[in-house]
Structure 1
Amino acid sequence: MSEILIRELESVAELKHSEHLQRLIWGEDDPPDNSDLLLAIQHEGGLVAGAFSDGKMLGFIFGFPSSTQGVQHSHRLGVLSEARGLKLGARLKWFQRDWCLARAITLVRWTYDPLRAVNAGLNISSLGATSSTYHVDYYGPMVGINAGLPSDRIVAEWKLDSPLVASRARGAQPDLPQGRRVDIPRDIEQLVSRDPQAALAARLSLRETLMDAFGKGERIIGFDPETASYLIG
């Protein structure tokens, strides 16, 4: 595979192609963000970018301005299965950081499923985001790759100019912070397929633990990919 180029999408044709990419990543039943909406948001200060190799789009990231000045909501990040292992998710996020800082945006927020260890490894461990907000069944019943469990989500908060995030942007991997460990399944998709009741029990257990911790003023401060454990403090 040739060199990866990450850039903003530059035409209506590319925006339309991103709809196809979203269907490949999230499933045909999961409605993509359509090109008309992406075009309007891009023109009003949103980020719509992709990762390309030999002209082929392999990954996609979409963020838009929030009601708070200097804060962006990051809505979509996805990479084709054939391109996994290239660290495109992280590369797209670091592109997002540079793009935001150039526009005086210093905080990016997004929701993700706290049971997905791969996402926690990227969002918390690699990028240095934290979280203290829990949403129960945020989207209601879902289809595609998100089907099978209540759509609980936590809010990742990525402080782009913090020393922790800046060090990770330079490639440093600080020691894991000290905190109470909360384990999650290593592969929730496999567990949903193999034992739906065990997957639901894992969802409800983590919901109770995180909501209790967040209610006490604690937050997720780290994630250990080796053990699939959140660090709470």
Structure 2
Amino acid sequence: MSDTPASLGGGSAVADERIVADAEAAAETAAHVSGCRVRPISALSDLEGACALFESIWKPDGESALATPELLRAMDKAGSYVAAAFDTTRDDELVAACIGFFGPPAASSLHSHIAGVSARMRGRSVGFALKAHQRAWTLRHGAAQVSWTFDPLVRRNAYFNIGKLAARPVQYLQDFYGRMNDGINGGDATDRLLAEWHLAAPNVAAACHGRPQHANAGAWRTTDAALDITADGRPVTGRITGARTRVAVPGDIEQLRRSDPACAAAWRSALRDVLSGLLTDGWQVAGFDRAGWYLLERQDRQ
């Protein structure tokens, strides 16, 4: 099993089908564990429900909508990914949704644009089930990679994307969406990490079966921190002397934006300078320590 797109296009049909079938089995198990049913949606009522869910999560100020039923209808008709999770314990209530679209070259990858889970369902691994379904669906449709962006300051999202799904950040994007007037981003700059998920990679397959191969965080805990956190929760830069380093993020940036906007802004600036600089300089994210650290390494220094 290869971790490159060639594993789908260049292998035998039997091998390709084996990868897809395994992904679909993993997705089915994940959905069962979460108590949900995950499927593509096309009915107008479901599309409206997905849009309403996105609105309830991000709470935009009314200037613009995250998505509209008309847009989702067009995306579905064009063959894009439009799916939702339904709570089987509550008469199939729509509790999560995700949309994505194919990108060049030749639709070889899917960009996952929005994914959201209702507050009531958090902690039940619904988001994991939704991503496992997206992986299986994308493989079934002939693509081998999914990409998406996430706020690098949100600790739980970094752990979910890197630790649980085995996606890897590849690029730091400064103020990617511009100002977003919503209840999550507030007035903060919308810096994002672009993550890539190589769907046929063995570590991704293992992660989707609930067996993530975590980086050994202990190997980093005694290394220099390129960005550390002070006792009062503020960022402080450090120096790097070896082939490994750590980059800290605050415990709850969303709460910090409300309680101490100046400190939140300091974290955005510090993380932008440090993490963006490291990725540009050839460092790679090897994992994320749940204690709040990006774990980075540079092969040419080892």
TM-score range, shorter chain: over 0.9
Paired with 1:126 and 1:31, the residues of 2 have a C-alpha distance of 30
Partner of 1:65: 102
Note if contact 2:163-2:214 (Cα within 8 Å) is conserved in structure 1.
no
Question: Partners in 1 of 2:101 and 2:268 — Cα distance?
Answer: 29
Residues 60-89 of structure 1 show CA distances to partners (whole Å, capped at 9, x for unaligned) of 111111122310000011001111111111
Match of 2:153 in 1: 115
Q: 1:150 aligns with which of 170, 182, 189?
A: 189
**Structure 1 vs Structure 2 CA RMSD:** 1.5
1:96/1:60 CA distance change after superposition, 3 Å: same
2-structure distance, mates of 1:89, 1:3: 12
| Structure 1 segments (4+ residues) deviating >4 Å | none
| Residue 33 (str. 1) matches residue 67 (str. 2) | yes
Q: Does 1:125 align with 2:163?
A: yes
One-letter identity of the residue aligned with 2:40: E
Give the Å deviation of 1:175: 3.5
The match for 1:99 among 137, 154, 158 is 137
Structure number with greater Rg is 2
Matches within 5 A, 1:1-233: 3-29=35-61, 31-53=65-87, 54-68=91-105, 69-144=107-182, 145-177=184-216, 179-225=244-290, 227-233=291-297
* Cα distance, 1:111–1:175 mapped onto 2, change above 3 Å: closer
**SS class of match (1:176):** coil
Report the 3-state secondary structure (helix = DSSP H, G, I; strand = E; otherwise coil) of the residue aligned with 1:73: strand
Q: How many Å apart are 1:182 and its aligned residue? A: 0.8
CA offsets 1:188-208 (integer angstroms, 9 cap, x no match)? 011111111111111111101
Please tell me the residue identity of whatever aligns with 2:200.
Answer: D
Deviations 1:36-81 (A, max 9, x none): 1111111212111111112211001111111223100000110011
Task: Give me the TM-score of the superposition, normalised by structure 2.
Answer: 0.74
- In the superposition, the TM-score normalised over structure 1's length comes to 0.94
Unaligned stretches of 5+ in structure 1? none
Are 2:180 and 2:186, in contact at CA under 8 Å, matched by a contact in 1?
Answer: yes
> Secondary structure in 1 aligned to 2:127?
helix
Aligned length: 231
Percent sequence identity is 36
- Contact kept, 8 Å, 2:186 with 2:257, in 1: the verdict is no
Single out whichever of 170-179 and 22-31 deviates more from structure 2: 170-179
* 1:221 shift after superposition: 2.2
SS in 1 for 2:96: strand
Cα pair 1:148 1:196 within 8 Å, conserved: no
Secondary structure of the 1:142 match is coil
Q: Structure 2: 5+ residue runs without aligned partners?
A: 1-33, 220-243, 298-302
Checking the alignment, whether the CA contact within 8 Å between 1:132 and 1:218 is kept in structure 2 is no
Query: Equivalents in 2 of 1:3, 1:222: separation in Å?
Result: 29
Distance 2:110 2:151 in 1: 19
SS of 1:206's partner is: helix
Q: CA deviation at 1:148?
A: 2.5
- After superposition, what is the alpha-carbon deviation per residue over 1:156-195, rounded to whole angstroms, capped at 9, x for unaligned? 1111111111111222132315542111011101111111
